[in-house]
Copies of this chain bind each other. A is one copy, B any other.
Amino acid sequence: MGEEEEVFEEALIPPENFNMVSDYIYRSSFPKKKHFSFLKKLGLKSVLTLILEDYPEQNMKFLEENKIKFLQFGIAGNKEPFVQIPENKISAALAAILDRRNHPMLIHCNKGKHRTGCLIGCMRKLQHWSYTSIFDEYRRFSHPKSRSMDQQFIELFDTRQVWELVDKEHMPKWPTLGDPPI
């Protein structure tokens, strides 16, 4: 059957470590050209990257062609004992995530393991997840290279600094997000 074959040829390739995090929020490793047809289907409004480097021209072109907003909160990997994740970058990134106008959004770094994992871990704190569940998810996506420094960062991260940056009018209606503290 010609139809069947066509379906196979058209297989969509999500970037490695791709996952749906919450309504309209996705995470992954660095997307390459072969992933663009998949990403196009998601109807993204924004891409939030945590890499420090300039964004490749090919990716930038994809964003422009699809009218996708580019948000860069560049941070270095949390490789002990030299580098620390800057809390203010994570807070700013979280405020961007909590703005419905940026949805659907793809979040990525290079491998989608550590920087993305830290950011999602902090987001889960805002969603009131228990630490067991937060670390379980962190390790699932960073395996086999989980870092205890990252988990410590998540544990110590104070979510109050995020709420100061959030535009309450445009917050998503996620079931476990709850109201910002008064």
Quick one: which of A108-122 are within 8 Å of B by CB?
none
Q: How many whole Å from A106's CB to the nearest CB in chain B?
A: 13
A64 within 8 A of B: no
> Chain B residues near A20 (CB, 8 Å)?
19-22
Q: Are B132 and A176 in contact (CB under 8 A)?
A: no
Tell whether A130 pairs with B13 under 8 Å between CB atoms, given A3-B181, A140-B140, A140-B141: yes
Residue of B11, B16, B43, B141 touching A129 (CB-CB under 8 A): B11
Q: Name the contact of A176 in the complex, choosing from B17, B38, B133, B176 (C-beta under 8 A).
A: B38
* Chain B hits for A42, CB < 8 A: 175
Number of interface residues of A (CB under 8 A): 36
Asked if A128 is at the interface (CB within 8 A of a chain B CB), the reply is yes
Contacts of A13 in B (CB 8 A): 129-130, 132-133
> With a CB–CB cut-off of 8 A, which chain B residues contact A23?
23
List 12 A-B residue pairs with CB atoms under 8 Å apart, sorted by A's residue number.
A3-B182, A4-B181, A7-B128, A11-B128, A11-B130, A13-B133, A14-B130, A18-B133, A19-B19, A19-B137, A38-B176, A43-B175
Interface residues of A in 10-39 (CB under 8 A from B): 10-14, 16-23, 38
* Contacting pair A12 B176 (CB below 8 A): yes
Which residues of chain B have C-beta atoms less than 8 A from A145's C-beta?
none
